[in-house]
A and B are shown apart, each in its own frame.
Chain A
Amino acid sequence: MNTYNRRAFIGQSARLMGGAVILGPLVAACGSDDKKTASTSAATTATTAGGTATTTAATTASTTAATTASSVASLGKVRTQFNWVADVEWAAWYLADSNGLFTKYGADVELISGGPNTPAVAQVLASGAADFGVASDELQLIQANKEGTDYVILGAMYQRSPFGYCWLADTPISTAKDLVGKKIGGVQGDQVRIDAVFKVNDLEPDYTFVPMNYDPQPLVDGEADVITAYVTNQPIQLELKGVETKSAPFSDFGLKSYGDVLFASKKYIDENRDLLVAYLAGLIAGVKANQADPTAVIPLLTDKYGKDAEIDAAYSTAGNPAYIALYDSDFTKANGLLSVDPAYFDSDVLPGYAAAGESDLPTAATLVDATLMADAQKL
């Protein structure tokens, strides 16, 4: 609660002091996004000015100044639930929040960290404690919707899920066949994906499951030959400790999925469409800010958002480029960052889950709504 209050306070004072004016150049300075940022504010200004065009020039000027200083009026607050503790994984949110990119488009945010044992993001949203969720991949939403929720995917932070396997460098693994008979470590529930990797490759799931709790040590100690891991996390943590590993996301083993899927309930989307579009526009700007300067988020993480989680700056610095590499795909180059391709869901993602043994799968038509992200790209 305190963290939030402080953040809200900082945000408020920044706005009062003309945060947009102060922070604007800062973002521009580190953004590849110079022109777009400038032109977007200019357009906003022009629209507002146009609305009051009949009054005197002096009034128009002061209105314009006020608009620039306070951004657009807030459309509301989006309480965002992450699926993990404060981490460089959420760099785009931290940058967008700190640099006033959300408020610039009219969205206020509250960023809520998760953790390995927290209730699933889908459950937190279902309980009403958050509005917008980040799920590690689509499976959780498919399962929740089967139980009666109405979640819709709006986009994805990462075009390929970083979730995959990690193994010691001297273990020869290159295809799914090499996993047969191995001791595979993971968290309870990971078995579903491990089985799926075997099944999409027409192999019988044949492995010994080693239950772990997000601690990569069993791999080092030889209690597991392979562990499930975020390729952006455990391999880098281990490398920093001097352990040579190799890793690959599940998509390299044929199980395609997006990473850190952005979702909300259909009801919420219908009632808050403009707010969500503004929010997504701010988030896109945050992604661009992170691409432009991967180091900018590190002090934000260690001193602000993750100051109570003892963030490891060395890991965060090494991990951020790995996450940034997952932002882009051919589809995003054509359609903009964070976009997801409904056709790809039907052709690749959902068949993978079918192979995993999930029945009654939805189609992209009901599970995905790409229109909000498309609108956000235009802001």
Chain B
Amino acid sequence: MTVALDAPVRASRSWRRRWPIGAIVAPVVGVGAVLAIWVIGGRAGWGSGIVVTPAEAIQPIVGSSRDVYMRATSATVWSAFRGLLIGSALAFVAALIAATVPALRRAISRLAAIANAAPWVAVAPCLLVLLGRDRGPVAVAAIAVFFFVFVSTSIGLGSAPVAAHDVLTALGSSRRVRVLSVQLPACWPSVIDGLKLGAPAAMAGAIFGEWYGATRGLGVLLLTAMQTGRAERLWAASLLSAACGLIAFGVLAAIRAALVPRYGAVITQSQATAEVAKGGSRLRTALAELVTVVVIVVLLVAAWWIWVETADISPIVVPRPSRVWHDIAGSLSEYARATGSTLATAGIAFLLGTFVGIAAAVAASRVRFFAGAVVPVIVVLAATPIIALFPLFARVIGYEPSTVRILAATMVFFPVFVYTRSGLTAASRSSTDVITALGASTNKRFSLLTLPAAVPHIVSGCRIAAGSSVIAAVVGETLIGSVGLGVRFSFEYHQLHMPPAFGAAIVIVIVSVAVFAAAGSIERAVHARWS
């Protein structure tokens, strides 16, 4: 999905002061180049006519079917908005509870990670069956938002000036008072950060939910356009989705800019480093982690079982846990093979996306004009609900296994690019001054100081990207793949074979939580070494 983008904005601001003309020319060149490629592609009819010119693409929106598109946009935005409100409210409360009740902190964080890792493809059909078609898109949007707001709120709550914290503690105030008087006021900019990332995610979630059955919405238009092969309609609906994501992103970025002077900027410190800083034996941490996970899993399965039994849920809607367990235990090798190929797809995508992301960020930091030209384009792309636009990309790139890898790589690219870019500005000014005064060349300074200082940031970007790569691989597989967990899920689901379908969904969750956790421990290790 999308990731923190304040870093490039901040960086570009600093060079804008020094080079005002470039600040205008570069983005114009960048956006202009994209438009030019688009026009050429449209004229030439790339992808057997699926690429249309920008003028053709906006024709449905401004032409006779304007009303249809406006109704669809407002329906999707309304679902996304409600999802954003519900998801962020829940996330905020969860983060607040985690901050006030330390006993629950670990459990709530793990639950949030599971919610983040839950594949929409697997969850959406169940939600729609259970909540009804109208609430389905809202629910998917809420899930999509939850993790972003939870993480950012947690970071925000931990960002209060340590001095203020210490003063209150010394004065004997309770944890609750500390949270309310110091931590809560300081967390707002960070919460807005989460919302800023959550808003495009909510759009993507709402569109995704609409695929699974809605009467109205951009998701519906995307689908009908794809089926009828009407390229200009596909583009029109995609453009509207992107525009809405971008507007939401922009509005929240503006709110954040207004809040920062009032509440002070966030000292970004990941939870991971905070925990490491607290100390404690590694073995004990690992044990506590294991116990937490086991308890959560047991509780979830118990809740599932009780619910299926008491609410008399049909076995073709949600199967009993025991049947799913039998299926997994009975066909371990098939699950292993599917898991292997999903991990391979995600792994290739991860390597590709990371490589391109780091390379682009380094290029952007070395060549200012490149940064100016490319960053606006990347901001636009990052605010676009890419997962929801999979059909468009599949049509342009082709129905090939490589398409799944390329799209998953794109999802990896954004966080890596953004974090690398912010990392490249992380070297302390005094160190830079010292090494410059000692007469180091720009290249020398880069390899000795800038790049090493960026490593912890790059690793953070990779942790977020690792989770995305699995989800993106699964979504791609469901749509156009031929092997993997996503394929297993959709194949069995279409046959109404619920135990294997749910089995695949559960394995997807386990795999993405595991990948996320593994990436998290690598991140912790790197951070511990580097700080």
Contacts and interface: CB of A to CB of B under 8 A. Distances in A.
Interface of A: 1, 3, 85, 112-120, 122-124, 126-127, 129, 140, 143-144, 147-149, 185, 187-189, 191-192, 209-218, 220-221, 223, 237-238, 241, 307-312, 315
Given A147-B315, A187-B494, A213-B479, A115 B228 contact: no
Contact of B211 (A117, A143, A147, A220): A117
Interface size of B as a range: 35 or more
10 contacts: A115-B214, A119-B212, A126-B317, A147-B498, A189-B491, A214-B227, A308-B215, A308-B216, A310-B68, A310-B233
A211 B132 CA distance: 29
Given A120-B494, A149-B314, 5 more contacts: A3-B216, A112-B133, A115-B223, A118-B125, A210-B399
Q: List the 5 shortest-distance A-B pairs measured between CB atoms, nearest first.
A: A189-B494, A118-B213, A126-B314, A308-B216, A127-B129
A309 B229 contact: no
A224 B124 CA distance: 29
Interface string B208-234: 000111111100110111111110010
Interface stretch (B3-11, B266-274, B480-488, B511-519): B480-488
A189 B501 CA distance: 12
A142 to B, nearest CB: 10
A191 B214 CA distance: 27
Given A113-B215, A114-B213, A215 B226 contact: yes
B415 interface: no
Interface of B: 48, 50, 60, 65, 68, 71-72, 75, 124-125, 128-130, 132-134, 211-217, 220-221, 223-230, 233, 314-317, 391, 394-395, 398-400, 478-482, 487, 490-491, 493-498
Contact of B480 (A213, A216, A307, A309): A213
A312 B400 CA distance: 29
Nearest to A151: B316
A308 B68 contact: yes
Contact of B71 (A113, A114, A123, A308): A308
A241 B317 CA distance: 39
Contact of B314 (A3, A127, A315): A127
A80 to B, nearest CB: 14
A144 B226 contact: no
B48 A147 contact: no
A118 B129 CA distance: 9
B490 A189 contact: yes
Nearest to B211: A117
Nearest to A86: B215
Nearest to A308: B216
Given A308-B72, A310-B221, A118 B128 contact: yes
A19 B83 CA distance: 41
Contact of B230 (A118, A221, A312): A312
Contacts of B493: 189
Nearest to B479: A213
Given A119-B129, A189-B491, A211-B399, A217 B496 contact: no
A211 to B, nearest CB: 5
A126 B316 contact: yes
Most buried by B among A3, A123, A124: A123
Most buried by B among A119, A126, A191: A119
Contacts of A213: 226, 391, 394, 479-480
A6 B217 CA distance: 18
B316 A211 contact: no
